[in-house]
Amino acid sequence: MWPDQRLCDLFRVEHPIIQAPMMGSCTPELAGAVSNAGGLGSLGCGEKPATTIRAEAAAIRARTNRSFNLNFFIIQQEKTDPRVLEAARKRLQPWYDDLGLGDPPSELPPPGRGFDEERLEVVLSVRPRVVSFHFGHPEASHVEAMKAAGIVLVSSATSVAEARVLEAAGMDAVIAQGWEAGGHRGSHKPTAPGDGVGTMALVPQIVDAVSVPVIAAGGIGDGRGIAAAMALGASGVQMGTAFLSCPEAATEPARRERLRQATDRDTMVTDAFSGRSARAMRSRYAEEMERAREALPPFPQMYALSGPIRNAAGDSEASFFLYGQAAALSKEMAAGDLVARLVKEAREVMGYLSRR
Ligand SMILES: Cc1cc2nc3c(=O)[nH]c(=O)nc-3n(C[C@H](O)[C@H](O)[C@H](O)COP(=O)(O)O)c2cc1C
């Protein structure tokens, strides 16, 4: 059926196609539709309150009795160096002045909670088939508790070394997230925006380095990309940008329009919105911050400084619209139809290649 069935067996799904968790962009409708079509639907839980996570997980279960994935961030409890904050405030003051926003905040909110005891409790009571992480892995006692509950654990690596760390920490599969990917880079420590390995180079090296199944992510926009990922040794794929145009996604109308006109050069990697490198639409703000790079407050505290600019300036000047380099391949179709189309296309390509 697929060249490597390991991921399908692990996740208990028909197709090794994961709809990426996307904070703010995925909905229970999207996840439910993907799971019903035989893929793995995901929900980005990020910093959502426990009650919201429980309600959204219940909404997925109301739509499907198949496997789904809940996704969480691993956040280092870093405090902002007061000198870095002062320099960043100074740097952003002209933007605040131009937009009539007063002064940038002089105090930042505490760092996010990441994956704590409360979230562990939510996961253990919801018991999704799969839980995935971004920016690292949970502590050993949490890994043990989830595995004892029969939950399959997955996390992202942006390098071979990170993939090895994830395997050693007990992850059941590793996502190899290449440079092309939309959204935050899942590196375990903050990296410079210019620093990344492309999917084509990363996937086979991670496949050679670990024995758990590898999931390719980044720049996979259609069945050709899926077949290519399999050729590189991946057991499956995780696709985010491709699902942003589905009617079930929470993508705003103006952003859907932007995706309709997307090109290969639309996006750039910047840490100037959240404090961590993420691939998002090019904007004057991101380009200006990139030209004169300076240390910025860490993720997610930087949001408190960039948020007012983003809200006041709008998408054309300071958009934090996350999408990847293959956005132009996106199709506007229902998520279930998209999964069926991806499966058909991938099989056609694999069949064609094996007949040559
Ligand atoms: C809008 C958007 C939001 C994202 N949010 C998350 C998230 O909350 N958690 C996560 O693990 N990955 C997140 N990602 C990254 C995806 O997991 C995945 O690595 C990426 O979408 C793959 O590249 P592609 O967009 O080219 O398919 C996000 C990606 C996008 C496009």
pLDDT digits (tens, 9 = 90+) for 28-79: 999 999 999 999 999 999 989 999 999 999 999 999 999 999 999 999 877 8
Distance separating alpha carbons of residues 239 and 224, to the nearest angstrom: 13
Q: Whole-angstrom Cα distance, residue 307 to residue 107?
A: 14
Q: At what angle do helices 223-231 and 335-355 cross, to 10 degrees?
A: 50
Q: Are the C-beta atoms of 45 and 119 separated by less than 8 Å?
A: yes
Residues 150 and 194 in one domain: yes
Tell me, using a 6 A CB cutoff, whether residue 39 lines ligand 1. no
Same domain, yes or no: 176 and 297? no
On whether the CB atoms of residues 321 and 315 are closer than 8 A, the answer is yes
Please indicate, yes or no, if residue 278 is contained in any of the structural domains.
yes
For residue 239, what are the β-bridge partners?
19
pLDDT the model gives residue 53: 97
Residues 6+ apart with CB under 8 A from 332: 245, 246, 247, 256, 260
Same domain, yes or no, for 98 and 184?
Answer: no
Residue 54 lies in a domain: yes
Residues 65 and 169 in one domain: yes
Identify whether the C-beta of residue 170 lies closer than 8 Å to the C-beta of residue 202. Answer: no
Verify that 169 and 231 share a domain, yes or no.
yes
- The DSSP code for 67 is -
CA of 122 to the centre of ligand 1 (A): 22
CA of residue 23 to ligand 1 center, whole Å: 8
Q: Are residues 72 and 85 both part of a single domain?
A: no
**β pairing state of 183-184 and 278-281:** antiparallel
Backbone φ, ψ for residue 251 (5° rounding):
-65, 130
d(CA 40, CA 42): 6
CATH number of domain containing 127: 3.20.20.70
- Is 175 inside any structural domain? yes
The finding on whether 196 has its CB within 6 A of some atom of ligand 1 is: no
162 burial (CB, 10 Å; 0-12 / 13-18 / 19+) is: buried
Integer CA distances (angstroms), 38 to 17, 19, 150, in order? 8, 11, 20
**342, 195: one domain:** yes
Structure tokens belonging to residue 142: 């949490």
The pLDDT of residue 74 is 96
Q: Is 217 in the pocket of ligand 1 (CB under 6 A)?
A: yes
Q: Which domain holds residue 203?
A: 6-76+112-251+330-355
Q: Is 40 in the pocket of ligand 1 (CB under 6 A)?
A: no
**Most informative mutation of 70, 154, 184 for ligand 1 (most atoms within 8 A of CB):** 184
Which atom of ligand 1 approaches the CA of 44 most closely?
8
Neighbours of 247 (CB within 10 A): 13
Residue 134 in contact with ligand 1 by CB distance below 6 A: yes
203 and 228 co-located in one domain: yes
Annotate 179-209 with DSSP letters as a single string.
Answer: TT-SEE---SS---TT----HHHHHHHHHHH
**Residue 18 in contact with residue 215, Cβ under 8 Å?**
yes
User: What's the CA gap between 95 and 27, in Å, rounded?
Assistant: 33
Residues of the chain with pLDDT under 50: none
1 in a structural domain: no
Say if residue 94 is in the same domain as residue 129.
Answer: no
Residue 190 domain-assigned (yes or no)? yes
* AA letter at 340: A
In a domain, 40, yes or no: yes
Q: Cis bond leading into 193, ω under 30°?
A: no
Q: Is 218 in the pocket of ligand 1 (CB under 6 A)?
A: yes
Task: State how far the Cα of 350 lies from the Cα of 346, in Å rounded to an integer.
Answer: 6
How is residue 81 written in tokens? 């160096």
For 169-183, give one letter per residue: b (16+ CB within 10 A) or e.
Answer: bebbbbbbbbbbbbb
**Do residues 103 and 199 share a domain?**
no
Which of helix, strand or coil describes residue 221? coil
Please give the pLDDT value at position 110: 84
For the chain, what is the domain count?
Answer: 2
Position 261 in a domain: no
Ligand 1 centroid–CA 9 distance in Å is 23
Do 340 and 218 belong to one domain? yes
Judge if 28 and 70 occupy the same domain: yes
Q: What is the rounded distance in angstroms from the CA atom of residue 239 to the CA atom of residue 284?
A: 27
Q: Is residue 284 part of a domain?
A: yes
| Ligand 1 neighbour 180 (Cβ under 6 A) | yes
In 3D space, the residue among 153, 148, 117 whose CA is nearest the CA of residue 133 turns out to be: 153
Answer whether 69's CB lies under 8 Å from 42's CB.
yes
pLDDT at res. 293: 85
Closest approach atom of ligand 1 to CA 177:
19
> So what's the pLDDT on residue 302?
93
Q: Is residue 16 within 6 Å of ligand 1 at its C-beta? A: no
- Cis amide linkage into residue 94, ω under 30° from 0: no
**Residue 302 alpha carbon to ligand 1 centre in Å:** 19
Q: How far apart are CA 113 and CA 74, in angstroms?
A: 8
